[in-house]
Structure 1
Amino acid sequence: MQASDTKIAFVGLGLMGVPMAKNLLKAGYQISGFDLNQEVAAKFSDDKGFQFVSSPEQAIQDANLTILMLPDSTIIDALLWGSNGSAGIATQLSKDSYLMDMSSSSPISSKENNQKLEKLGIKFIDAPVSGGVKKAIDGSLAIIVGGKKEYFGEIHSLLECMGKSIVHVGDAGAAHAVKALNNYVSAAGLIAASEALNAANKFGLDPHVVNQVFNASTGRNNTTENKVENFMLNDAFNSGFSLALMRKDVQIALNFIENMNCYANLAKQCVLTAKEADEKLGKGADHTAMFDYVRSAAL
């Protein structure tokens, strides 16, 4: 998609959405953006080509591509199809335009939305991202893409403005499935590292040294490499990704695994642990504060 002839509607300008939209603006795309938090408009005051509008309906007018970066599938489904008597935006989208869901959504819901949108002549793509705010800012996100291969080819250059690793994994819903499973594996690694380092500390071992051993051995994972020293052992707990979102992500993964009629014992325990920690630590807790929860819950 060429920037010169593409108008983008961007709905959901949170911690991730703002830098993603800014990278599209830098590439020359025109954006009509909407977020419930109207104060976010000030972050684009110096950006040419950006217009903050008062509603999703206004944002999608004449848009070639609508990007959704929203908290969950319940909100997305209500936006598309309406709720409590209100109409959704799906029937107002321009025919032959793209609807790209870059949120961490339910793969089952995404597959259903694709079927409904296809009947309306809308091209659906699921393209969830991984890498956090830092990579959203520098445009090096990992982007997983689901949808028809021809759609992937048509929007690939646009995705390159936001990400470095861009992988097409299958038909509509496939990307959200892969993202959910990735988030589950990542969360399991965080919980395991938190429990292991707490036990090491209780035994009188230096957790910094123990983590060095993990990183030189088979226990190495994203948490041991990137989170333990930067956010956990120093009690910073400020990685920028909330525990509430991690809880949501592992619940999506569990629902998906169970819908596939697969064994899910560890996923169930991860959901339970994330729920307990989220409720104990309260609103706004960073997901790396799982280490603090495990430490405080020790017998």
Structure 2
Amino acid sequence: MTTLFLGLGRMGAPMARLHAEAFPTRVFDVFPAAIESVAAASAAEAVTDLAAEGADTDVVILMLPTSSHVEAALRGGDGLLVRLRQGALVIDMGSSEPASTRALAAEAAERGIAYVDAPVSGGIAKAETGELTIMAGGEADAVARAMPHLETVGASIVHVGPAGAGHAAKALNNLVSATNIAAATEAVTVAKRFGIEPATMVEVLNASTGMSQATQVKFPQHILPGTYASRFAYDLMLKDMGIARRMADEVGFSPVTRAAFDALSDGRAALGDHPDHTEIARVYARATGIDIDEGHAS
């Protein structure tokens, strides 16, 4: 069984290396250096011409930035959906638009190709250790077929529903994660204004009902020290929040989603190039003049 793994970025590269330990794996990325790096550090085989791939491929794993990248790889006269044989399996592990995923899954089904969306959570650290959380969407038999591949990189794998449900769950999770950081930052900023030190307020939250992954991990490791080095990009956070907002708009009442997305989108311009998503705290500092990281805290 041969797997073609597309997308060797900061998440995809460690995932491909782990996958290659369990299955024959061929790897491709638009950046040749990324291909060479993964192939040199693992049992993966480098692919230099994607147009020649597909006929003898059993499984395709995609770890690409957006739905448009996924659609470009799969659709069209030279897309992989045309070149893959019946019975092949496609697993999209990036953060894609649920509507696009549903459409691609339907197109794949017409060609006798199984399709699973299986986005991940846990960041680069968990990608490197194979302990990611994976939210899988698709038909039960397709998810069962995908499971051995998902288990090479994931420690917690949940089949959340039909095609597109995995990508929906991922976007909603990241919406909650970002909103938790924003809410905690707001509380800590207000607390400092009233004479409570940021670290003290975080200690209170972590011993009380306001506790979250943001207060337990993001604040002590990245925000209070002022390192902002979680290695998950602010722009990717906004992309996922945007997906969640469009989903929420269909419900008709989502004031928290709208407020969080609008505030963090408006604050993006002040952060410069390639900010980390924990720099949500810097958005508040610029808007209020109150810094809560150790580099600025009094």
Counterpart selection for 2:182 from 175, 183, 191 = 191
**SS state of the match for residue 291, structure 1?**
helix
Give me the whole-angstrom Cα distance separating, in 2, the residues matched to 1:150 and 1:195.
45
Identity %: 35
Give the conservation status (yes or no) of the 8 Å contact 1:34–1:59. Answer: no
- Equivalent positions of 1:251-270 (< 5 A) are 251-258=242-249, 260-270=250-260
Report the CA distance between 1:18 and its aligned residue: 0.5
Number of the residue aligned with 1:286: 276
Report the CA distance between 1:51 and its aligned residue: 2.0
The alignment's TM-score, normalised by the length of structure 2, stands at 0.92
Number of the residue aligned with 1:18: 13
**CA offsets 1:48-84 (integer angstroms, 9 cap, x no match):** 53222234333434111101111111221222224xx
Counterpart residue type for residue 263 of structure 2: T
Give the conservation status (yes or no) of the 8 Å contact 2:130–2:153. Answer: yes
**SS state of the match for residue 166, structure 1?**
strand
Counterpart selection for 1:51 from 35, 45, 51 = 45
**SS state of the match for residue 256, structure 1?**
helix
Counterpart residue type for residue 215 of structure 2: T
Give me the whole-angstrom Cα distance separating, in 2, the residues matched to 1:147 and 1:95.
17
Give me the whole-angstrom Cα distance separating, in 2, the residues matched to 1:87 and 1:25.
26
Unaligned runs of 5+ in 1: 1-5
Unaligned runs of 5+ in 2: 290-298
Stretch deviating more after TM superposition (191-200 or 57-66): 57-66
Counterpart selection for 1:220 from 211, 220, 225 = 211
**SS state of the match for residue 142, structure 1?**
strand
Counterpart residue type for residue 241 of structure 1: F
Give the conservation status (yes or no) of the 8 Å contact 1:7–1:65. Answer: yes
**SS state of the match for residue 297, structure 1?**
helix
Counterpart residue type for residue 133 of structure 1: I
Give the conservation status (yes or no) of the 8 Å contact 1:57–1:92. Answer: no
Counterpart residue type for residue 38 of structure 1: P
Counterpart selection for 1:240 from 215, 221, 231 = 231
Q: 1:58 to 1:223 in 2, by over 3 A?
A: farther
Give me the whole-angstrom Cα distance separating, in 2, the residues matched to 1:60 and 1:252.
30
Stretch deviating more after TM superposition (72-81 or 46-55): 46-55
**CA offsets 1:143-195 (integer angstroms, 9 cap, x no match):** 11111111222221221111110111111111111111111111110111111
Number of the residue aligned with 2:74: 80
2:131 is aligned with 1:111: no
Give the conservation status (yes or no) of the 8 Å contact 2:117–2:167. Answer: yes
**SS state of the match for residue 164, structure 1?**
strand
**CA offsets 1:240-293 (integer angstroms, 9 cap, x no match):** 0000000101001011122x3331222122221222232221221100011012
Q: 1:217 to 1:59 in 2, by over 3 A?
A: farther
Give the conservation status (yes or no) of the 8 Å contact 1:68–1:100. Answer: yes
**SS state of the match for residue 27, structure 2?**
strand
Give the conservation status (yes or no) of the 8 Å contact 1:78–1:88. Answer: yes
Cα RMSD over matched residues? 1.6
Give me the whole-angstrom Cα distance separating, in 2, the residues matched to 1:47 and 1:297.
45
- Aligned pairs, number: 289
Number of the residue aligned with 1:271: 261
Number of the residue aligned with 2:112: 121
Give me the whole-angstrom Cα distance separating, in 2, the residues matched to 1:75 and 1:169.
24
2:150 is aligned with 1:159: yes
Give the conservation status (yes or no) of the 8 Å contact 1:108–1:173. Answer: yes
Give me the whole-angstrom Cα distance separating, in 2, the residues matched to 1:87 and 1:151.
24
Counterpart selection for 1:231 from 222, 236, 246 = 222
